[in-house]
C-alpha cells in the first residue's frame, strides 16, 4: 500500500464545481490524495481509456452525482463518462462511496441513480441537500471505509500502526519507508520545537526492522519498540539502539495526551465559539481512553465529547451515559435536531435525547417544542425520544424511508456497544 491512499472523484464537473472542490480539500485534509478530472494533465489517451485508467489506479471510488447525466462518449454517445467510471470501479472491485444531490434529476440520470442505489443497497450511500450537509458525511464515511478496507493485514503491521499513532500523538512528524543516510528505514520520526534542537530518530518495532536500525545507529538515534521479547540480534547493539516497551510508549502517548487534546478543543468550542469538530480518527483515538477520561472531564468537556460522538458515530452509548445528568449536554443534543446537521446526526441526537435523565429529557423536549420545529421527521424524532421509543421509531418508521432508511443498520451497529 502506498503511503497515501488515492480517492477518485467521479461526476459531472459542471453540476457541482464547488462541492467537488471542497470534497477534494476534505480528502487532502484526511491525508488522502484526490484523483479527479480537474487535476489531470495532458494525455494522449482517448477519453474512455483515460477514465478507465484513472479509476484503475485509484484505491477508492467516490461518486459525487448532480442532477444531470453528463457528457457521453463519442461516437455512439450511449453512456456518460460518469456511468462508465462507475462501471469500471465495480469491475475493478474498488470500494465505492456514493453521494447524490436531492432534486429532480434528468431522466437518464434517474435511471443511472436507480442502478447505483440498487447495487449499493444503502452501503456508503447518501443523498445531500447542501455542502454543509455533504462534507461531514464524506469525512465520516471515508474514515470508516479506510479503517474497514485498508486496515493492517498482519500483527507486525498492526504494531507499526500503533507505534506511528503514538509518535504522532506526542508531537513527532512521522514518515515511513524512506531513504535515510543511505538506508531505507521503516519509520523516521522528527520533532521540532523553537526551544529545542530538532530531534530525529529511526524507529523500528518488528524483526524485519532490525537491520536498518543497526545500520543507522552509529550516525543517528535508533529506537526499537518491543511489544514482547527483544530480538536476539538487537541485544549486542543495546548501547547504540535504545529499547522501549510498547506499554511505556502507550503510557507516554495515551490518556494524558488524549485529555489535553479534548480539553483544548472543548475550550475553543465553549470560549471562542469555534465549531470545528475533532477529526474522526483523532476522536476515535481519544475515545479509546474514555474510561480513564470520564471522571477527569468537566461538564463542558463531557458535552463536547458527546458532540463529537453524535457527529462521528463513535462510542455513542458511553458518551450518552456519561452525559445523562449533564445539563450542558442539552445544547449539544438539540443542535442536530433544530439545525441542519445532516440526517445521521439528527437520528443519533434523538437517541441521546432519550438517554438523558428524566428531568433533563423533559427540559430538553420542552425547549425543542418551543423552538417551533416544522419538519415532520424532526417532530417525530423528538416525540419518539420523549416517549422512550427511539429504536422502535428507527425500525418501524425510518427504515423504509427513501432518504433516511439507507443507514439505519449502521446506526443500530453504532448503539450496539457497552455503555461502560
| Model pLDDT, residue 196 | 54
pLDDT digits (tens, 9 = 90+) for 127-158: 888 887 788 888 888 888 887 777 666 778 87
Identify which of 144-148, 245-249, 321-325, 337-341 has the greatest average pLDDT.
Answer: 321-325
Of the listed ranges 121-130, 133-142, 230-239, 410-419, the one predicted with least confidence: 121-130
Is 41's pLDDT higher than 60? no
Residues 105 and 67 sit within 8 Å (Cβ to Cβ): yes
pLDDT digits (tens, 9 = 90+) for 340-357: 777 888 999 999 999 999
Tell me the whole-structure pTM to 2 decimals.
0.61
Domain covering 6-149, topology = Rossmann fold (3.40.50)
Of 180 and 40, the structure prediction assigns the larger pLDDT to 180
Is 396's pLDDT higher than 80? yes
| Model pLDDT, residue 228 | 83
Domain 155-253, CATH class in plain words = alpha beta
Per-chain mean pLDDT for the chain: 86
Amino acid at each position: 500500500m502506498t503511503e497515501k491512499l488515492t480517492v477518485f472523484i467521479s461526476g459531472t464537473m459542471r453540476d457541482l464545481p464547488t462541492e467537488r472542490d471542497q470534497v477534494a480539500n476534505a480528502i487532502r485534509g484526511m491525508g488522502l490524495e484526490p484523483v479527479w478530472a480537474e487535476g489531470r494533465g495532458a494525455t494522449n489517451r482517448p477519453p474512455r481509456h483515460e477514465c478507465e485508467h484513472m479509476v484503475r489506479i485509484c484505491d477508492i471510488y467516490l461518486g459525487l452525482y448532480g442532477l444531470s447525466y453528463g457528457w457521453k462518449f463519442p461516437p455512439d454517445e450511449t453512456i456518460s463518462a460518469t456511468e462508465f467510471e462507475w462501471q469500471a470501479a465495480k469491475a475493478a472491485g474498488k470500494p465505492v462511496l456514493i453521494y447524490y444531490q436531492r432534486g429532480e434529476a434528468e431522466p437518464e440520470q434517474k435511471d443511472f441513480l436507480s442502478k447505483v442505489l440498487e447495487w449499493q443497497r444503502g452501503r456508503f450511500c447518501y443523498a445531500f441537500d447542501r455542502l454543509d450537509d455533504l462534507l461531514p458525511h464524506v469525512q465520516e464515511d471515508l474514515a470508516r471505509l479506510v479503517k474497514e478496507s485498508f486496515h493492517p493485514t498482519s500483527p507486525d503491521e498492526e504494531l507499526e500502526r500503533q507505534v506511528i499513532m503514538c509518535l504522532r500523538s506526542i508531537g513527532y512528524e512521522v514518515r515511513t519507508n524512506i531513504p535515510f543516510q543511505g538506508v531505507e528505514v521503516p519509520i523516521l520520526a522528527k520533532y521540532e520545537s523553537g526551544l529545542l534542537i530538532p530531534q530525529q530518530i529511526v524507529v523500528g518495532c518488528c524483526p524485519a526492522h532490525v537491520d536498518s536500525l543497526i545500520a543507522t545507529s552509529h550516525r543517528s538515534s535508533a529506537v526499537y519498540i518491543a511489544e514482547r521479547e527483544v530480538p536476539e540480534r538487537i541485544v549486542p547493539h543495546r548501547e547504540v539502539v535504545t529499547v522501549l516497551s510498547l506499554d511505556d510508549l502507550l503510557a507516554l502517548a495515551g490518556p494524558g495526551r488524549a485529555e489535553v487534546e479534548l480539553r483544548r478543543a472543548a475550550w475553543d468550542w465553549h470560549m471562542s465559539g469555534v465549531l470545528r469538530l475533532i477529526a474522526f480518527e483523532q476522536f476515535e483515538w481519544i475515545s479509546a481512553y474514555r474510561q480513564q477520561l470520564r471522571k477527569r472531564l468537566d461538564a463542558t468537556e463531557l458535552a463536547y465529547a458527546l458532540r463529537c460522538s453524535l457527529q462521528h458515530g463513535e462510542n455513542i452509548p458511553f458518551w450518552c451515559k456519561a452525559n445523562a445528568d449533564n445539563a450542558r449536554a442539552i445544547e449539544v443534543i438539540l443542535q442536530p435536531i433544530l439545525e441542519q446537521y445532516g440526517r445521521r446526526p439528527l437520528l443519533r441526537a434523538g437517541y441521546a435525547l432519550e438517554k438523558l435523565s428524566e428531568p433533563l429529557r423533559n427540559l430538553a423536549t420542552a425547549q425543542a417544542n418551543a423552538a417551533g420545529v416544522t419538519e415532520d421527521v424532526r417532530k417525530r424524532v423528538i416525540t419518539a425520544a420523549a416517549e422512550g421509543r427511539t429504536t422502535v421509531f428507527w425500525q418501524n418508521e425510518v427504515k423504509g424511508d427513501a432518504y433516511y432508511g439507507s443507514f439505519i443498520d449502521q446506526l443500530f451497529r453504532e448503539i450496539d456497544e457497552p455503555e461502560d
